[in-house]
Structure formats: structure tokens, C-alpha cells
Homo-oligomer: A and B are copies of this chain.
Amino acid sequence: MYTAKINRSEDTEKHLEFIQANGFAILVSNVEGKPWATHVPLLLSRDKKKLQGHIAKGNKQWKEWNADTEVLAIFQGPHTYISSSWYDHENVSTWNYVAIHVYGKLKVQSESELLNSLRELTDKYEKQSERPVSVDRMNQQYVKREMLGIVGFEIEISKIEASYKLSQNRDAKNHEIIVTELEKRGDHGSTAIAAEMRKAGHS
């Protein structure tokens, strides 16, 4: 992904935390020569070297996967419009956002690998449930039947690109004005970007 130098981040630990906290990703690869995207939760493996997920067998994206397929997984954080009307000088408006792009080669999982991934994925998101379900406590015939309808995969992470576009190029005064205006707006994207801006700082 293109990222201006001031918006780049090379902090791999931070990126992996972001991926774990924003796990609903967009998986992109080519189908019939055109980009094809699937919205799907991706799970970071325990060794933090792979992403694991599954798609419906009816989704033809998997039919073109082979040992050389390099896919892109997009993890998106908050985003919001930044109005240059807030600044103390003339400038163009822009958009602030946080996004992480992961590239890697993809491999289709075996049945047991898929089962393990489903267990871990379910456990991860069921932590917040009052009465958590678990794959192991389900009827195993039912689980097997469900697995027939999906294709599991692993992406061996080869590159992580991060864009923290957070007005880092503004001076202290204008940076503070932006944060204040975003907090006034109060919607989800504005509030979250204001918090990210405070963390990222200014020029």
C-alpha cells in the first residue's frame, strides 16, 4: 500500500495486536483475472506467523488458489473526514484512517487443521459470551457436516504494511484543533480517530 513516510509504522508487535483486535478482514485475490474480495474473520496463529480463515465452498475464490497464490488481507481500523476549515491556514481537506495490509502465500488446510482453526476462532470470539459455545462441545457429526461446506486456509505472512494516517504533518496547534473538532462530532469514527491521533502525536 502507498503510505507517505510520516504515516508509516514499522512496529510489528503493534500491527499484530491491531490484527488481533480488528480480525474481520477482507481477503483479496484474483478470480478470472480480476480482483475478488471476501469479507471474513482471520485469526492470527499462535506463533504469529500465519493468518487462518475459511470461506464458503460456493465462493469460487478458492478454486484459483495454488501454491504460488499471493493474497492480500486488508484489516481496517477507524476512519473519518478531516475538514481543512478547522485549520488556521489554507489547505485541502483529507481523510484520516488506520489500515494494515498483510501479504502472503496461501495454502488450503487439511480437515484437522481446519477443525483446529474453527476451535480457536470460536474460542476467541466466545470469550465475551455469557454461555460460550465451543466446537468441542458441539455434536461432532454436525461439525463435520458444516465443514463440508467450507474451505479452510492459512496465509504465511510475508509482508505487513501499515498506514496510520493521522495528521502527523500538522503542528501542535492545528493537531489539537483537529482532535477537539473530532471529539465534538462524537460519532464512532471521529472519536476513534481522535484517540489514535493523540497516540500518534504531531510534527
Binding site for B on A (CB under 8 A): 1-2, 4, 24, 26, 28-30, 34-41, 55-56, 58-61, 70-72, 74, 76, 79, 81, 83-85, 90, 92-93, 95, 97, 99, 101, 103, 118, 122, 125-126, 128-133, 138-139, 142-143, 146, 163, 165, 188
Look across to chain B and name the residue whose beta carbon is closest to the beta carbon of A79. Answer: B24
CB-CB under 8 A for A35 and B72, given A28-B28, A85-B133, A133-B93: yes
Bound complex: CA A136 to CA B26 (Å): 38
**Oligomeric state, in number of copies?**
2
Across-interface contacts of A83 in B (CB, < 8 A): 125-126, 128-129, 133
Across-interface contacts of A84 in B (CB, < 8 A): 133
Q: 10 tightest A-B contacts by CB?
A: A2-B59, A188-B188, A35-B72, A28-B35, A85-B129, A85-B133, A81-B125, A83-B129, A85-B131, A24-B79
Across-interface contacts of A24 in B (CB, < 8 A): 79, 81, 95, 97
